[in-house]
Amino acid sequence: METVFHISNYPEKYQVKYDMCTLLNSALTWWNCHKRTIRIEAAYAMSWAELMKLMKKVYYPRNEIQKMETELWNLVVKGNDLTAYYRRFQELVLLCTRMVPNEEENVERFVGGLPDNIQENVIAAEPTQLQDAIRTANNLMDQKLKGYARSPENKRRLENNPRDNRGQQPVFKWQNVKGHNVARAYTAGNNEKKGYVGSLPYCNKCKLHHAGLCTVRCGNCKRVGHMTKDCKVTVTPNT
């Protein structure tokens, strides 16, 4: 709602009245009761700050705030899910204003919940704004995850896992011959020729796998149906 007021340059004296028109269900019932208690004129004469303080008192009593402060104090990154951490962190600091009264305390509390290896590097960067700390932590987490993927233990795991072992799977090189896809299979490492394991039928004429009629043209006799290396016709320049 504050964003709407800011974008539309809404007059301050009408903000409370406009905001109260958006309430629904039990919130609307509460406001109507409060309005009857202090009179309509006094209710709509409140400032925006006074209204926020009143609503926080009604919907976030001290015991609820204490629960959230405890959660904020113990909030840490679980696993490598940094996104979930700072999303919940930002939700809590909006209401736990006594615990993080300024930006410096905000940054300090955020950094305190990071993993140790990332926390030290973020502190060394000396961020002064929360967004700077979040950006630095994101970059370090990305580097950590990339390093984990390249670690020797994970490399051996990938090599021992047939599903992840792409290095030993044949790589198919496709050639386009007169509009027909023709496949040859090679290993990715040393180009050693392997047996074809695709679905295209084998052609006895050109010795390749392709779909449809064979359109491979001999470079020697110019006929269709065999490769130049298999040509048995002797062609002279005068022919």
Per-residue pLDDT, averaged over 90-118, amounts to 89
Per-residue pLDDT, averaged over 77-98, amounts to 89
Per-residue pLDDT, averaged over 26-37, amounts to 92
Query: Of the residues 123, 153, 183, which one is the last residue of a structural domain?
Result: 153
- The reported pTM is 0.50
Q: Please tell me whether residues 45 and 100 are part of one structural domain.
A: no
- pLDDT band per the 50, 70, 90 thresholds, residue 188: very low
Contact in structure between 31 and 23 (CB atoms under 8 Å): yes
Tell me which of 173 and 44 has the higher pLDDT: 44
With respect to residue 222, please indicate whether it lies within any of the assigned structural domains: no
Tell me which of 59 and 206 has the higher pLDDT: 59
Per-residue pLDDT, averaged over 223-234, amounts to 73
Q: Please tell me whether residues 81 and 141 are part of one structural domain.
A: yes
Q: Please tell me whether residues 76 and 54 are part of one structural domain.
A: no
With respect to residue 128, please indicate whether it lies within any of the assigned structural domains: yes
DSSP string covering the chain, please?
-HHHHHHHT--GGGHHHHHHTT--HHHHHHHHHHHHHH-HHHHHTS-HHHHHHHHHHHHS-HHHHHHHHHHHHH----TT-HHHHHHHHHHHHTT-TTTS-SHHHHHHHHHHTS-HHHHHHHHHH--SSHHHHHHHHHHHHHHHHHHHHHSHHHHHHHHH-TTT--TTSEEEEEEEETTEEEEEEEETTT--B----SSSPB-TTTSSEESSS---B-TTT--BSS-GGG------TT-
Which domain, by its residues, includes 53?
Answer: 2-59
Split into its structural domains, the chain has a count of 2
Q: How confident is the model at residue 169, as a pLDDT?
A: 45
CB atoms closer than 10 angstroms to residue 141: 19
